[in-house]
Amino acid sequence: MAYRSTDKTRQKKDTKRTAMMQAAVKVFAEKGYHASTVRDVVAEAGVAIGTFYFYFPDKETLFVYLYEETADFLLQAISQGINSRRTLPKQVPAGLQAYLNIALFEPAVIQLLLVGGVDTLPELATRRLAFRERLTQIWQRPLDDALDQGTIVPQNTRRVAEALAGAYDEVILNLISLPEPAEEAHAALQDLVEFTLRSVVYSGS
């Protein structure tokens, strides 16, 4: 009879894998890709080194996988925030609030995506471009809607979305570098929303 893993066994495996993923995000964000080692990851996760190699063949594979997983996580959160609202003055803060929530509670995720993934692996270059493209498209959608509604002046929404995405990233990176980022989060959100609406010359009610 073929062996079938029990639910308890599968749950135990999933727990170890999750622990390694969480540990890896922290280690890569703090040390950077090149300075981090497999031993750093397993020490942070509290698992044996053999457990690591049961799931991943090497550090590079883990890093690329982590980058894709965290990118999907962030993009989905921002997109859901935007899609939950109908007008630009509500879509922008909803999307930014989702971004800020992750930055405040999982700053290592933001560090990994915006800093840790830069100039690390050739294989990561195309994935980073794909992440930035999807992020730009997410911010462009509410601008396109506003343009169709006539609530912003005619403009190249693609270029504006690229500029806004870069500005948001810079502000949030600076925010999470502060000793107490949560204390400045609300003000940062308000400033970014006002900046966005001024930038696109929003004229709706």
Same domain, 71 and 26: no
Contact 168, 161 (CB under 8 A): no
Same domain, 85 and 117: yes
Same domain, 69 and 169: yes
pLDDT band at 83 (very low <50, low <70, confident <90, very high): very high
pLDDT for 71 equals 94
pLDDT band at 3 (very low <50, low <70, confident <90, very high): very low
pLDDT band at 118 (very low <50, low <70, confident <90, very high): low
pLDDT for 57 equals 93
pLDDT for 121 beyond 60: yes
Which of 40, 56, 72 terminates a domain? The answer is 56
**CATH number of domain containing 11:** 1.10.10.60
Same domain, 17 and 79: no
In a domain, 67, yes or no: yes
Distance set, CA 107 to CA 5, 67, 81, 110, 196 (Å): 35, 14, 19, 5, 23
- Domain limits for position 47: 7-56
Render the burial of 54-80: b for 16+ CB within 10 Å, e for the rest.
eebeebeebbbebbeebbeebbebbbe
Number of independent structural domains in the chain? 2
To the nearest whole percent, how much of the chain has pLDDT over 90? 71
The residue whose two tokens read 């980022």 is 181
3-state per-residue secondary structure call for the chain: CCCCCCHHHHHHHHHHHHHHHHHHHHHHHHHCCCCCCHHHHHHHHCCCHHHHHHHCCCHHHHHHHHHHHHHHHHHHHHHHHHHCCCCHHHHHHHHHHHHHHHHHHCHHHHHHHHHHCCCCCHHHHHHHHHHHHHHHHHHHHHHHHHHHHCCCCCCCHHHHHHHHHHHHHHHHHHHHCCCCHHHHHHHHHHHHHHHHHHHCCCCCC
pLDDT for 9 beyond 70: no
In a domain, 2, yes or no: no
Same domain, 47 and 96: no
Same domain, 21 and 39: yes
pLDDT for 180 beyond 90: yes
In a domain, 204, yes or no: no
In a domain, 65, yes or no: yes
Mean pLDDT on 190-197: 98
**Cα–Cα distance measured from residue 194 to residue 188, given in angstroms and rounded to the nearest whole number:** 10
Same domain, 64 and 105: yes
In a domain, 205, yes or no: no
pLDDT for 4 equals 52
